[in-house]
A and B are shown apart, each in its own frame.
Chain A
Amino acid sequence: MNLFHNVRAQWLAYAVFFIVLALVPLFVGDDVFLLNQLSMYGVYAMLALGISLCWGFGGILNLGQGIPFGLGAYGMAMTMQMQTQDEYNPMPPFMLNNSLTELPWFWVPFGNTTVGIILSIAIPALFCAIFGWTMFRARVSGPFFAIMTLAMLSAIGTLFLGMQPYTNGANGLSPPRSLQLGELTVDPYSPGSYWVVFGLLLIATVIAKLMTLSRSGLVARSIRNDAERVRFLGYNVAAYETMIYTVSGIFAAVAGACMVVLSQYVSPDQFDPTFSLMMVVWAGIGGRMSLLAAMLGAFLIQGGQSYLGDELDATWYLFLGTFFILVVRFLPKGLVGLVESGLGRIRIGSKRNDGDSAASEVSLNPQPGA
């Protein structure tokens, strides 16, 4: 059996990944801006994780991951904005500039921090559940679903842009203060914030990994193989697809909320299709079938963008596009496909390999629970 498909080895790889990430702040030192930027990579990784779960694992290509991401981000921004309002000054300044006379009803719940944070996650989750159920129930799948998500993304982006008095339009929201949790001020430039973001990423990763190993994961794989057959086994395919799409959306919403805590800024740019496509590119290049590879893909591409993007300017996208095409053409499993075939050449001298070596050579896929 290929070490790549050994579930224990996989957990070990995750452990190493997170231990390395946890140690990073100890080496960054006093450069708080760098630390803040690195925390943002946790946000990217969380988004890539969601795409990997949805696309790689569930077979649902989702070009609208920006929807739950943006909704989560706006939810958190509204919560943080309301923290700076008080009874003498109940409305955010931009509303006054847009001549609103009272706080819109949908802003009111965000006045309570706990409710606000819950809503930042619950609203995108509810959106995904309803939108997903509507689409999957009608058996919209494959490229058609991808197009629907893209259309929905553009529509929501336009809505947030157009509702100037309620969302501050293109300027977005920039809460003047960091998030307050009770007595605690969350300093976005501190190692604490970094650890919280990556701690959430760790939780999300464990959930996603367990999902892939569970019976739900097995059913999801079958749906990717032949959805029609799965229905006749008694599974409600639409319910499974909706669940995977929604869990992936919740990850994106958490990522959006974290992003706002870190950057204290949100704008309709979060709904920009380019960014949602970029998430798919991360997972595609890293390897959508592997949660870890998709996250590393996000690090690689966003890292490249930060350091090469400035120098190369628009040429960066040309370079990235070419790279993406090459990977899709020659490495359909992404860069991690190289690791997989590399490990496949190494024979593990374990006993169980002797019995079914013929079988393991033809078995290209992992056996969950094995």
Chain B
Amino acid sequence: MGFFEIRNLRKSFDTVSVINDFSMELVELTLCCLVGPNGAGKTTTIDLITGRQKPTSGTIMFIEEDITGFDEHQIARRGIGRKFQVPAVFRDMTVRQNLEVAFTRTTNPLKNIFRFREPGFAGKLDEILTLTGLGPRLNVEAGILSHGETQWLEIGMVLMQNPRLLLLDEPVAGMTESEIEKTVGILNDLKKTNTLMVVEHDMSFVRRIADVVVVMHMGSLLAKGTIKDIEADRRVREVYLGEEA
């Protein structure tokens, strides 16, 4: 059995079916891009994986365990980290505090009453700051960071969790060209130690990071393969690339 696998996933709201018999798998230490036109069900898929929504049917397997229908925190503790489409950071707290909360080693509320410092935090913090370059902004409130910095902070928070699998929903949305450049660097670095799944619209960005591309359309799998295969695929061009051209 594989590292991560989705089998026959379905999700419907009343009579409207959003995810329709979707299956896919991920190979460890690769970066998979999930693409598709608006309404294809990309974010819903991420919601289903991370427990924000419960599937109507189908199974989600992560490291030999069926995690279908688990709560968000249970899934997160098993090593799946998520970055949201609209960056979600704690705006009233400093960058450092944001990263401190995300350093999830002890989650029990009663034990945490007696914990003031998490061992190992300082080392991890250095590592994350080197990667994201947020060092100079450490004591600044997250609410006043620029858009790009906020995106990186959230990526940093997800990394603080030490996840085996990272799900990033549109990590470069709203970034400038130089910020995108930096993010490409960060993601290519991460590939060496983590497995990633990135939801993305921007095909030029996908081209620079993806090992595998999965194309969704109307809640189902349309195509899967390397970026070259996908760009050559006639059906994909029709439903997706064609629209952009």
Binding site for B on A (CB under 8 A): 210-211, 213-216, 218-219, 221-222, 224-226, 228-237, 239-240, 243, 356, 359-360, 362-365, 367-369
Contacts of B20 in A (CB 8 A): none
Question: Do the beta carbons of A215 and B88 come within 8 Å of each other?
Answer: no
A365 to B104, CA, bound (A): 22
A210 to B161, CA, bound (A): 25
Contacts of A214 in B (CB 8 A): 112-116
Question: Do the beta carbons of B116 and A369 come within 8 Å of each other?
Answer: yes
Question: Do the beta carbons of B76 and A231 come within 8 Å of each other?
Answer: yes
B81-98 interface code vs A (CB 8 A; 1 in, 0 out): 110100011111110110
Question: Do the beta carbons of B161 and A234 come within 8 Å of each other?
Answer: yes
Most chain B beta-carbon neighbours within 10 Å: one of A213, A218, A226, A239: A218
Instruction: Give A233 Cβ to nearest chain B Cβ, in Å.
Output: 5
Most chain A beta-carbon neighbours within 10 Å: one of B91, B96, B104: B104
A222 to B90, CA, bound (A): 6
Contacts of B82 in A (CB 8 A): 232
Question: What are 7 A-B pairs with beta-carbon distances under 8 A?
Answer: A214-B116, A219-B112, A221-B97, A226-B88, A235-B73, A235-B104, A369-B117
Q: Which of A210, A229, A235 contacts B113 (CB 8 A)?
A: A210
Question: Do the beta carbons of A221 and B90 come within 8 Å of each other?
Answer: yes
Additional 13 contacts, C-beta under 8 A, given A216-B112, A221-B97, A233-B101: A211-B113, A218-B97, A221-B92, A225-B90, A233-B76, A234-B73, A234-B77, A236-B73, A240-B109, A363-B140, A367-B97, A368-B97, A368-B116
Contacts A230-B101, A231-B76, A234-B73 known; A367 to B113 CB distance under 8 Å? no
Question: Do the beta carbons of A231 and B101 come within 8 Å of each other?
Answer: no
Question: Do the beta carbons of B88 and A364 come within 8 Å of each other?
Answer: no
Size of the B side of the interface (Cβ < 8 Å), in residues, is 41
Can you name the residue of chain A whose Cβ is closest to the Cβ of B167? Answer: A232
Contacts A222-B90, A365-B93, A367-B94 known; A233 to B102 CB distance under 8 Å? yes
A210 to B104, CA, bound (A): 20
Q: Which 4 A-B pairs have the closest CB atoms?
A: A234-B76, A231-B72, A216-B112, A225-B90
B114-158 interface code vs A (CB 8 A; 1 in, 0 out): 111110000000000000000000011100100000000000010
A235 to B101, CA, bound (A): 10
Question: Do the beta carbons of A228 and B88 come within 8 Å of each other?
Answer: yes
Contacts A222-B93, A225-B93, A369-B116 known; A363 to B139 CB distance under 8 Å? yes
A70 to B100, CA, bound (A): 39
Can you name the residue of chain A whose Cβ is closest to the Cβ of B114? Answer: A214
Question: Do the beta carbons of B144 and A362 come within 8 Å of each other?
Answer: yes
Contacts of B77 in A (CB 8 A): 234
Contacts of A210 in B (CB 8 A): 113
A214 to B93, CA, bound (A): 15
Instruction: Give B109 Cβ to nearest chain A Cβ, in Å.
Output: 4
B178 interface hit (Cβ, 8 Å):
no
Contacts A225-B92, A367-B97, A369-B117 known; A215 to B73 CB distance under 8 Å? no
Most chain A beta-carbon neighbours within 10 Å: one of B52, B102, B117: B102
A362 to B93, CA, bound (A): 11
Question: Do the beta carbons of A225 and B91 come within 8 Å of each other?
Answer: yes
Can you name the residue of chain A whose Cβ is closest to the Cβ of B160? Answer: A233
Contacts of B92 in A (CB 8 A): 221, 224-225, 364-365
A211 to B113, CA, bound (A): 5
A210 to B115, CA, bound (A): 10
A363 to B139, CA, bound (A): 7
B183 interface hit (Cβ, 8 Å):
no
Contacts of B157 in A (CB 8 A): 233
